[in-house]
Amino acid sequence: MDLLCLEPFKIGLIGSMYFIGVVISSVIAPPLADAYGRKYVFFGSELVQLSGLIGLLFVRDIWGIYICMALVGLSYAGMILIGINYVVELQKKEW
């Protein structure tokens, strides 16, 4: 895929799709973690990110890149926000 021939806004939209996914996951992931447990949402987010990153290896068009970047963004809140809380809960009280 030749990104040099695309309009600048289409190239900028690649990064924007990631942040759109982050915003959506920041709204969806915490209530899911409260309802179903942090462990399931954390590992589910890992699978979403893995599918997005593997997809980026094989897509050949700009729309595929947009979708894969949105998937990677959707995994952010489940991995970072919920992952930190999950690790803190696993720590011993002495720490």
Q: What is 44-88 written as a DSSP string? A: HHHHHHHHHHHHHHH--SHHHHHHHHHHHHHTHIIIIIHHHHHHH
d(CA 73, CA 91): 27
Residue of 41, 59, 84 whose CA lies nearest to 1:
59
Q: What is the pTM of this model?
A: 0.83
d(CA 52, CA 25): 14
What is the pLDDT, as a whole number, of residue 95? Answer: 63
List, for residues 52-93, the tens digit of each pLDDT value. 999 999 999 999 999 999 999 999 988 888 888 878 888 887
User: Is the Cβ–Cβ distance between 29 and 78 less than 8 Å?
Assistant: yes
